[in-house]
Amino acid sequence: MATTLKARTHGAALRAPARRRRRIRKPPLTYADKRMTTQMVDRLWWRAGFGPSEADRKAWTGKRVGALVDWMLTTGPTLIGQPPVNNGVALAPTANDTDLVLEWLDRMVRSDNPLPERLTFFWHDHFGNSRNVVSSQMIFNQISLLRSFSTLGANATSDVRSLMQAITVDPSMLRFLTGEANVKGRPNENYARELMELFCLGVTDAQGQPNYGEDDVKELARALSGWQVNNTNPAAPFSYFTQSRWDPGVKTFLGQSGAFNATQAVDVVLSHPNHAPYLMRKLWNEFVQTPPDPGTLADLVNTYNRRGRRLRPVLRKILTHRSLFESIAEPNMIKSPIVYTAGAMRAMGMFVVNGNPRSRLQVMGQDPYFPPDVSGWEYGPAWLDTNTSISRFRLIADFTGSQPVDQTDIPGETPQQAFDRAYAATGGGWLSPDNRARILDYAARTPGGTLSQRRTRQRVLRSLMLGGPDGQVM
Structure confidence by residue, pLDDT tens digits, 48-106: 999 999 999 999 999 999 999 999 999 999 999 999 999 999 999 999 999 999 999 99
| 7 within domain boundaries | no
State which of 301, 325, 349 marks the end of a domain.
325
Residue 4 lies in a domain: no
Q: What per-residue confidence (pLDDT) applies to 170?
A: 98
Decide if 11 is inside a domain. Answer: no
Q: Each residue of 328-350: b (16+ CB within 10 Å) or e?
A: eeebebbbbbbbbbbbbbbbbeb
> Are 318 and 343 members of one domain?
no
Q: Over the stretch 202-259, which tens digit does the pLDDT of each residue have?
A: 999 999 999 999 999 999 999 999 999 999 999 999 999 999 999 999 999 999 999 9
**Which residue range(s) make up the domain with 379?**
337-472
User: What pLDDT does 274 receive?
Assistant: 98
- 473 - beta bridge partners? 334
Label residue 1 by pLDDT band (50, 70, 90).
Answer: very low
pLDDT at 157 over 50: yes
Same domain, 102 and 223: yes
Domain boundary among 270, 302, 325: 325
In a domain, 22, yes or no: no
Q: Give residue 408's pLDDT.
A: 86
Query: Based on the domain organization, do 84 and 208 belong to the same domain?
Result: yes
Number of domains in the chain: 2
Beta-carbon neighbour count of residue 271 at 10 Å?
A: 12
Which pLDDT value is given to residue 403? 85
Same domain, 393 and 263: no
Crossing angle of the two packed helices 275-287 and 294-306, in degrees rounded to 10 = 110
Same domain (yes/no): 253, 131: yes
Phi-psi region of 412 (alpha: psi -120 to 50; beta: other; left: phi over 0): left
Let me know whether 341 and 319 are in one domain.
Answer: no
Q: Is residue 96 situated within a structural domain? A: yes
User: Is the whole-model pTM more than 0.95?
Assistant: no
In-domain check, residue 243: yes
> Is the domain of 381 the same as that of 321?
no
- For 97, 105, 313, the CA distances from 369, given in Å and listed in that order, are 9, 11, 28
Residues 156/250, Cβ–Cβ less than 8 Å: no
Residues 382 and 352 in one domain: yes
pLDDT, averaged across the chain: 93
Instruction: Classify residue 467: in a domain, yes or no.
Output: yes
Distance between CA atoms of residues 272 and 275, nearest Å: 6
Are residues 347 and 467 both part of a single domain?
yes
Among the three residues 325, 354, 386, which one is the final residue of a domain in this structure? 325
33 assigned to some structural domain:
no
Same domain, 319 and 407: no
**Which element (helix H / strand E) includes 260?**
none
pLDDT at 28 over 80: no
Domain check: are 295 and 347 in the same one? Answer: no
Are 321 and 341 part of one and the same domain?
no
285-to-128, 209, 291, 324, 472 alpha-carbon distances in Å: 17, 22, 7, 10, 18
